[in-house]
Structure 1
Amino acid sequence: MIPVRGYEGRRVAVLGLGRSGLATARALKAGGAEPVLWDDSPEARSKAEVEGFECRDLTKQDGFTGVEVLIVSPGIPHLYPKPNPVIAAAWAAQVPVDNDVGLFFRSLATDEWNRFETLPRVIAVTGSNGKSTTSALIHHCLDHAGRPSQLAGNIGRGVLDIDAPGDGDVVVLELSSYQTDLARSLTPDIAVFTNLTPDHLDRHGGMGGYFAAKRRLFAEGGPDRAIIGVDENEGAYLANQLAEGPGDDRVIRVSVSCKLDGEGWNLFARKGFLSEYRKGRQVASIDLRNLPGLPGVHNHQNALMAYGALRGLGLAPRLIEQGFHSFAGLPHRSQTVAQINGVRFVNDSKATNADSAAMALRAFPNIRWIAGGLGKDGGIASLTGEMDHVVKAYLIGHSAREFALQISDVPHEICETMDIAVRKAAADAEPGDTILLAPAAASFDQYADFEKRGEDFTRLVEELDGQ
Structure 2
Amino acid sequence: MIPVQGFSGRKVAVLGLGRSGLATARALSAGGAEPCLWDDSPEARDNAVAQGFELTDLTRRDAWDEVVCLVVSPGIPHLYPEPNRLIARAMAEGVPVDNDIGLFFRSWSTRDWGRMDKTPKVIAVTGSNGKSTTTALIHHILSEAGRPAQMAGNIGRGVLDLDPAQDGEVVVIELSSYQAELARALTPDIAVFTNLTPDHLDRHGGIGGYFAAKRRLFSEGGPDRAVIGVDEVEGRFLANQMAQGAGDDRVIRVSSGEKLDGPGWSVFARKGFLSEWRKGRQVASIDLREISGLPGAHNHQNACAAYAAVRTLGLAPKVVEAAFRSFAGLPHRSQLVAEVGGVRYVNDSKATNADSAAKALQAFDNIRWIVGGLGKGGGIASLVPHLDSVKKAYLIGHSARDFALQLGETPHEICETMERAVTRAAQEAKPGDTVLLAPAAASFDQYPDFEKRGEDFVARVTALLARAKG
Q: TM-score, normalised by structure 1?
A: 0.99
For 1:76, the equivalent position in structure 2 comes to: 76
1:340 aligns with 2:340: yes
Unaligned stretches of 5+ residues in structure 2: none
Provide the C-alpha distance between the structure 1 equivalents of 2:130 and 2:30, rounded to a whole number of angstroms: 34
1:416 aligns with 2:416: yes
Shift of 1:341: 1.2
Q: Is the 8 A contact 2:422 2:457 kept in 1?
A: yes
Provide the C-alpha distance between the structure 1 equivalents of 2:280 and 2:208, rounded to a whole number of angstroms: 33
Shift of 1:59: 2.4
Q: Is the 8 A contact 1:59 1:89 kept in 2?
A: no
Q: Is the 8 A contact 1:367 1:435 kept in 2?
A: yes
Provide the C-alpha distance between the structure 2 equivalents of 1:381 and 1:334, rounded to a whole number of angstroms: 22
Q: Deviation per CA, 1:402-436, whole angstroms, max 9, x where unpaired?
A: 00001132100000000000000000110000000
Q: Deviation per CA, 1:131-170, whole angstroms, max 9, x where unpaired?
A: 0000000011111100010010011110000101110001
- Secondary structure (helix, strand or coil) at the match of 1:160 reads helix
Shift of 1:306: 0.2
For 2:138, the equivalent position in structure 1 comes to: 138
The residue correspondences of 1:277-426 to structure 2 (distance < 5 A) are 277-426=277-426
Q: Is the 8 A contact 2:393 2:412 kept in 1?
A: yes
- Secondary structure (helix, strand or coil) at the match of 1:313 reads coil
For 2:429, the equivalent position in structure 1 comes to: 429
The residue correspondences of 1:35-434 to structure 2 (distance < 5 A) are 35-434=35-434
Q: Is the 8 A contact 2:274 2:288 kept in 1?
A: yes
Provide the C-alpha distance between the structure 1 equivalents of 2:322 and 2:408, rounded to a whole number of angstroms: 44
Question: Which residue identity is paired with 2:359?
Answer: M
Shift of 1:401: 0.4
Shift of 1:42: 2.1
Shift of 1:454: 0.5
For 1:16, the equivalent position in structure 2 comes to: 16
Provide the C-alpha distance between the structure 2 equivalents of 1:403 and 1:52, rounded to a whole number of angstroms: 47
- Secondary structure (helix, strand or coil) at the match of 1:37 reads strand
- Secondary structure (helix, strand or coil) at the match of 1:227 reads strand
Provide the C-alpha distance between the structure 1 equivalents of 2:302 and 2:344, rounded to a whole number of angstroms: 22
Q: Is the 8 A contact 1:119 1:167 kept in 2?
A: yes
Provide the C-alpha distance between the structure 2 equivalents of 1:390 and 1:43, rounded to a whole number of angstroms: 43
Provide the C-alpha distance between the structure 1 equivalents of 2:288 and 2:47, rounded to a whole number of angstroms: 47
Provide the C-alpha distance between the structure 1 equivalents of 2:371 and 2:201, rounded to a whole number of angstroms: 22
Q: Is the 8 A contact 1:337 1:347 kept in 2?
A: yes
Q: Deviation per CA, 1:337-389, whole angstroms, max 9, x where unpaired?
A: 00121100000000000000000000000000000000011110000000010
Provide the C-alpha distance between the structure 1 equivalents of 2:261 and 2:141, rounded to a whole number of angstroms: 27
Provide the C-alpha distance between the structure 2 equivalents of 1:343 and 1:44, rounded to a whole number of angstroms: 43
For 2:34, the equivalent position in structure 1 comes to: 34
Question: Which residue identity is paired with 1:415?
Answer: C
Question: Which residue identity is paired with 1:272?
Answer: G
Question: Which residue identity is paired with 1:242?
Answer: M
Displaced runs of 4 or more, over 2 A: 46-54, 59-63
Shift of 1:56: 1.9
For 1:462, the equivalent position in structure 2 comes to: 462
- Secondary structure (helix, strand or coil) at the match of 1:231 reads coil
When structure 1 is superposed on structure 2, of 211-220 and 56-65 the one drifting more is 56-65
What value does the CA root-mean-square deviation take over the aligned residues? 0.8
Shift of 1:49: 3.0
When structure 1 is superposed on structure 2, of 75-84 and 257-266 the one drifting more is 257-266
- Secondary structure (helix, strand or coil) at the match of 1:192 reads strand
Q: Is the 8 A contact 1:373 1:398 kept in 2?
A: yes
Question: Which residue identity is paired with 2:349?
Answer: S
Shift of 1:464: 1.6
Q: Is the 8 A contact 2:120 2:165 kept in 1?
A: yes
Question: Which residue identity is paired with 1:74?
Answer: P
Unaligned stretches of 5+ residues in structure 1: none
Identical counterparts, % of pairs: 73
Provide the C-alpha distance between the structure 1 equivalents of 2:137 and 2:143, rounded to a whole number of angstroms: 10
Provide the C-alpha distance between the structure 1 equivalents of 2:375 and 2:200, rounded to a whole number of angstroms: 13
Q: Is the 8 A contact 2:190 2:223 kept in 1?
A: yes
Q: TM-score, normalised by structure 2?
A: 0.98
Q: Is the 8 A contact 2:384 2:408 kept in 1?
A: no
Provide the C-alpha distance between the structure 2 equivalents of 1:257 and 1:237, rounded to a whole number of angstroms: 18
Q: Is the 8 A contact 2:261 2:281 kept in 1?
A: no
- Secondary structure (helix, strand or coil) at the match of 2:375 reads coil
Provide the C-alpha distance between the structure 2 equivalents of 1:48 and 1:445, rounded to a whole number of angstroms: 27
Provide the C-alpha distance between the structure 2 equivalents of 1:62 and 1:337, rounded to a whole number of angstroms: 54
Question: Which residue identity is paired with 1:306?
Answer: A
